[in-house]
Amino acid sequence: MKVDYLVAEIGSTTTLVTAFNVKYDSLGKVFVDTPFQGKSCTTVLDGDVTIGLENAVKDIEDKINEHLTWGKMLATSSAAGGLKITVHGLMEQMTVKAAKEAALGAGGIIKMVTSGKMRKIDLKKIHKINPNMIMIAGGTDYGERETGIYNAELISAEKFNKPIVYCGNIENREEIKEIFTGQELYIIDNVYPKVDELNVEPARKIIQEAFEKNIVKASGMNKIKSMVDGSIMPTPGAVMESAKILYDIIGDLVVLDVGGATTDVHSVTYGSAVVLDMLISPEPKAKRTVEGDLGVFVNSKNVIDLLDIRDLGELNKDYISQHIKAIPEEEEDIKASLMLTKKAVEVAVNRHVGTIKRKYGGESGFIAYGKDLSQVKYIIGTGGALTRLPEGEKNLLSIRVLKDEVTMLPKKGAKALIDKDYIMASAGVLSKINREAAEALLKQSLNVNESMEI
């Protein structure tokens, strides 16, 4: 069988491959064949990720009882430690925050953050982390210059041999070019060009380009180009791309991705005008948070520790601990995984969303911190725990506030959608070369119809 596209999602433990054709109906409208999927253990630790890729392809071939060929192969990856980034800016709540938002939205894992002038101990920590990329921010445009240059000189002198992304004060660009002569350097628009203004999208684009260029150097990934002849993106960054595409189709949304090791939350919304007036610092339209301690398998113990008597009901923590499986199939195992999924969703959303507080002192009123989800129309579930276990929709709807009150959480009118084909990451990387097909893939998987479109 020949298919147009084969898209691989290479996770830390599992590799999932999706095969599909792009077709046109009599009116010229794009649609996608029901995708075939195969999976295998990821073999990056064996020194060659293509072994797992080939095994996942064979899994499809065994299901269709045919040899599989394809026109183009794309991939997303969170294997080999994912996209590890260190961020170095001027002020924690300004340029540093902006650079973090850019890195997270691109699919990065933030391993270290510094504000102000760096110290020698910071450089030692970077060596120990061995990141995939180093981001330098600092100063609004035509504002403070010294800190960015100082940090750049320290980092350059260490010869980390890593891609450097400079996204600070544009007045420093010529000096930055000289400082990093002969090194892999990306200079882009300032992520914090003016006070209270974020500009994270240019940085996200460059981060993903640098990732694709350098992922082939990672241990176990060096043969990936022997199979993948298209784009390679960080998996969380690909999910964010799908979230942004869906925003253009159905409006304000939040995506929850509960996995074995982490729980990611992606939101695409400006929030309400009322809350925007109360915010003490700007938030990006598209925001991602990753909870590295919340997972239903690898990090299940952390979630179990968070359970209280209201969560447990008739069960107990020992029972749940004894029934944790990577792929739960028995009733007892599913029951335990469902409880962990519900808790991971609850905690991850509460960490992602902002808060509203009353002012005290001379001026009455309220102030707001963080991301406002109150205008969210759709709560979307992806990842194995929400798409492959029962009660996914129930878990998603549980984050809504059902009473009429001032809140930054989704309200009772928000609806749940399930990524039933588990293809949000695949659609995200596909959108880089065929957005029309990516939109069709998303609509089919989430059962989006014309009445839902804005």
pLDDT digits (tens, 9 = 90+) for 23-65: 887 766 787 887 899 999 889 888 899 999 999 999 999 999 9
Query: How does DSSP classify residue 34?
Result: P
Identify the CATH number of the domain in which residue 147 sits: 3.40.50.360
User: Residues 100-144: pLDDT tens digits?
Assistant: 999 999 988 899 999 999 999 999 999 999 999 999 999 999 999
Does residue 327 have a pLDDT over 90?
Answer: no
Q: Which domain-ending residue is among 226, 250, 282? A: 226
Residues 303 and 376 in one domain: yes
User: Residues 186-235: pLDDT tens digits?
Assistant: 999 999 999 989 999 999 999 988 888 888 787 788 888 889 998 999 99
* H helices present in 216-265, as ranges: 235-250
Classify residue 306 as left (phi > 0), alpha (psi -120 to 50) or beta: alpha
Task: Tell the residue number behind the tokens 């009118």, with chain if given.
Answer: 413
Does residue 393 have a pLDDT over 90?
Answer: yes
Provide the 10 A C-beta neighbour count for residue 381. Answer: 24
Nearest to 343 by CA among 318, 314, 307, 319: 307
- Give the pLDDT confidence score for residue 50 in this predicted structure: 93
Range(s) of the domain holding residue 417? 235-452
Residues 292 and 415 in one domain: yes
Residues 161 and 307 in one domain: no
Mean pLDDT of 385-405: 91
Q: How far is residue 134's CA from residue 381's CA, in Å, rounded to a whole number?
A: 31
Residues 52 and 114 in one domain: no
DSSP run (H or E) holding 20: strand 14-20
Identify the CATH number of the domain in which residue 66 sits: 3.30.420.40
Contacts of 248 (CB under 8 A, 6+ apart): none
Within 13 Å, how many C-alpha atoms sit on residue 35's CB side? 30
Residues 306 and 433 in one domain: yes
Query: How does DSSP classify residue 375?
Result: T
* H helices present in 282-410, as ranges: 300-306, 309-312, 317-322, 331-352, 384-387, 392-397
Classify residue 5 as left (phi > 0), alpha (psi -120 to 50) or beta: beta
Quick check: 49 and 60 in contact, CB under 8 A? no
User: Residues 279-317: pLDDT tens digits?
Assistant: 988 899 999 999 989 989 888 999 999 999 888 888 889
Q: How far is residue 336's CA from residue 311's CA, in Å, rounded to a whole number?
A: 11
